[in-house]
């Protein structure tokens, strides 16, 4: 039995492509999404760099700072809990302002599908052509259309988006606060009746929802919640180890300190600034460019931004040092820091008082 489709793409003849329009290419995307029903997937997406879309494609998105604000909200609110929601086929159910065309090689389509839909007569120079009538992954405007549609639905049910923080919503009357990252919700709630309300609103609007009441995975981070003590431990298990294996990085035989230089504190002096760069010792630009392009620093900057902001200046310093051999050795020290778990704790009453007095 063939499952019901979403009417996103329609196969057309090559000569049906409008004059002056060029068909973009098919981009196969492989991903591992633990929160999905089918976590390991291969998706048909559109080659976005060949799409000539004239409209506004910009979309306000939430970032890691928004997620961490939400985590602080959960552990700082009495009896609050955290859960995650995922919307299936988030980009596939919005009408496009105008249709796009795409070329799909016959080798990418199973023979069973070719026979089932009688596609052989439509083959042109080893490929099939389709007309895209609804939003599709990687189309420049699909994110904006899908988000605008969802925001309108949420606003009809009294969920107000923050004026200062994009994609951070709060319900007008219910103890419900949530953040939208692409098609994933991180939800802070007090009482399941309110989180069930949000789930019901999304389902009644035609979305297929999967949920995780433990809230253990959000924004690629593993979260370990301790609601009693008001803490949440954030980690990315296996990320650094995979990066080390990818770049064949071996640990040093001797302990190495970080190369990041910190200027000494001068007590009694109010304003203390970093020293200017010494022009008599110019950096090796060729070496700097070579090291800066090294992917190992990008990989560690990612986990540093996710969990350990204090490691970012050290990693940046690593990308500028001259000795490539010493660079590889002392990098292992920062790797150890990045491997640790980051903890977010509930502020004490004294911290709240200090924060209020500082405003």
Based on the fold, state whether residues 307 and 196 are members of the same structural domain.
no
Based on the fold, state whether residues 179 and 69 are members of the same structural domain.
yes
pLDDT, tens digit, 9 for 90 and up, residues 328-346: 445 555 555 555 566 676 6
- In whole angstroms, give the CA distance from residue 183 to residue 146: 9
**Nearest CA-CA partner of 147 in 161, 131, 158, 133:** 161
Based on the fold, state whether residues 72 and 110 are members of the same structural domain.
no
In which domain, by residue range, is 120 found? 9-55+92-134
Q: Are 86 and 123 in contact (CB under 8 A)?
A: no
**Nearest CA-CA partner of 94 in 51, 43, 137, 38:** 137
- Kindly report the backbone phi and psi dihedral angles of residue 234, in degrees, each rounded to the nearest multiple of 5, phi listed first: -110, 130
- In whole angstroms, give the CA distance from residue 23 to residue 14: 10
**Nearest CA-CA partner of 74 in 281, 299, 203, 229:** 229
Band of the pLDDT at 359, cuts 50, 70, 90? very low
Based on the fold, state whether residues 244 and 226 are members of the same structural domain.
no
Q: Give the range among 15-29, 44-58, 163-177, 208-222 with minimum mean pLDDT.
A: 44-58
Band of the pLDDT at 203, cuts 50, 70, 90? very high
Q: Are 215 and 82 in contact (CB under 8 A)?
A: yes
Based on the fold, state whether residues 81 and 193 are members of the same structural domain.
yes
| Arithmetic mean of pLDDT, 154-180 | 91
What percent of the chain has a predicted confidence (pLDDT) above 70?
69
Based on the fold, state whether residues 305 and 246 are members of the same structural domain.
yes
The domain total for the chain is 3
| Arithmetic mean of pLDDT, 119-123 | 94
In a domain, 348, yes or no: no
In a domain, 357, yes or no: no
Band of the pLDDT at 254, cuts 50, 70, 90? confident
In a domain, 23, yes or no: yes
* Domain end marker among 134, 168, 187: 134
CA–CA distances in Å: residue 247 to residues 159, 250, 294, 300: 45, 9, 10, 12
| Arithmetic mean of pLDDT, 162-191 | 90
- Per-position b or e across 44-78, b if 16+ CB within 10 A of its CB: bbbebeebeeeeeeebeebeeebbbebbbbbbebe
The Cβ-side half-sphere exposure at 87, using a 13 Å CA radius, reads 25
Strands (E), the chain: 9-12, 24-32, 40-46, 81-88, 95-105, 127-134, 159-161, 168-171, 176-181, 184-189, 208-212, 217-218, 221-226, 231-235, 342-345
Based on the fold, state whether residues 84 and 96 are members of the same structural domain.
no
- Kindly report the backbone phi and psi dihedral angles of residue 284, in degrees, each rounded to the nearest multiple of 5, phi listed first: -80, 100
| Arithmetic mean of pLDDT, 65-92 | 88
Q: What is the pLDDT of residue 353?
A: 46
Q: Are 82 and 191 in contact (CB under 8 A)?
A: no
Based on the fold, state whether residues 176 and 322 are members of the same structural domain.
no
- Kindly report the backbone phi and psi dihedral angles of residue 170, in degrees, each rounded to the nearest multiple of 5, phi listed first: -140, 135
Q: Which positions ≥6 away from 11 have C-beta within 8 Å?
A: 117, 119, 122, 128, 129, 130
Based on the fold, state whether residues 111 and 182 are members of the same structural domain.
no
In a domain, 190, yes or no: yes
* Domain end marker among 134, 161, 192: 134
Q: What is the pLDDT of residue 136?
A: 83
Structure letter (DSSP) for residue 108: G
In a domain, 3, yes or no: no
pLDDT, tens digit, 9 for 90 and up, residues 281-308: 555 555 555 544 455 556 666 666 666 6
Based on the fold, state whether residues 97 and 215 are members of the same structural domain.
no
Q: What is the pLDDT of residue 258?
A: 57
- In whole angstroms, give the CA distance from residue 28 to residue 178: 32
Helix pair 239-246, 295-306: axis angle to 10 deg: 180
Based on the fold, state whether residues 161 and 296 are members of the same structural domain.
no
- In whole angstroms, give the CA distance from residue 329 to residue 208: 49
**pLDDT(2) > 60:** no
In a domain, 1, yes or no: no
In a domain, 277, yes or no: no
In the numeric block, the tokens 């070329």 are attached to: 103
- In whole angstroms, give the CA distance from residue 57 to residue 169: 22
Based on the fold, state whether residues 221 and 129 are members of the same structural domain.
no
CATH number, domain at 202? 3.30.70
**pLDDT(5) > 50:** yes
**pLDDT(95) > 90:** no
Tokens of 31: 């991903």
CA–CA distances in Å: residue 45 to residues 55, 91, 104, 114: 20, 11, 11, 19
**pLDDT(150) > 70:** yes
Burial class (CB in 10 A: 0-12, 13-18, 19+), 39: exposed
In a domain, 24, yes or no: yes
């Amino acid at each position: 039995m063939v499952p019901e489709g979403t009417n996103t793409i329609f196969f057309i003849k090559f000569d049906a492509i409008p004059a002056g329009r060029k068909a973009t290419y098919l981009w196969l995307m492989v991903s591992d999404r633990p929160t999905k029903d089918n976590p390991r997937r291969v998706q048909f997406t559109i080659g976005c760099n060949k799409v000539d879309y004239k409209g506004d494609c910009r979309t306000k998105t939430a970032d890691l700072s928004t997620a961490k604000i939400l985590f602080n909200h959960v552990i700082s609110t009495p009896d609050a809990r955290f859960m995650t929601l995922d919307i299936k086929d988030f980009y596939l159910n919005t009408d496009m302002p105008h249709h796009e065309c795409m070329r799909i090689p016959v080798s990418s389509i199973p023979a069973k599908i070719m026979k089932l839909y009688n596609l052989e007569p439509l083959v042109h120079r080893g490929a099939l052509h389709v007309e895209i009538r609804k939003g599709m992954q990687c189309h420049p405007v699909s994110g904006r259309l899908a988000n605008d549609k969802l925001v309108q639905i949420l606003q009809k049910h009294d969920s107000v988006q923050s004026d200062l923080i994009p994609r951070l919503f709060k319900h007008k009357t219910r103890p419900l606060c949530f953040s939208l990252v692409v098609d994933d919700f991180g939800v802070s709630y007090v009482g399941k009746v309110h989180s069930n309300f949000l789930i019901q609103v999304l389902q009644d609007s035609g979305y297929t929802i999967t949920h995780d009441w433990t809230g253990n995975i959000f924004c690629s981070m593993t979260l370990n919640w301790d609601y009693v003590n008001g803490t949440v431990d954030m980690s990315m298990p296996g990320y650094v180890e995979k990066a080390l294996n990818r770049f064949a990085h071996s640990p040093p035989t001797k302990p190495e300190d970080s190369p990041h230089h910190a200027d000494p504190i001068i007590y009694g002096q109010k304003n203390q600034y970093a020293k200017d760069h010494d022009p008599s010792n110019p950096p090796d630009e060729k070496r700097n460019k070579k090291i800066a392009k090294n992917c190992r620093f990008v990989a560690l900057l990612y986990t540093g931004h996710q969990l350990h902001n204090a490691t970012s200046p050290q990693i940046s310093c690593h990308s500028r040092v001259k000795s490539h051999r010493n660079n590889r050795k002392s990098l292992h020290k920062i790797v150890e820091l990045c491997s640790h778990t980051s903890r977010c704790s509930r502020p004490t009453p004294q911290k709240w008082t200090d924060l209020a007095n500082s405003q």
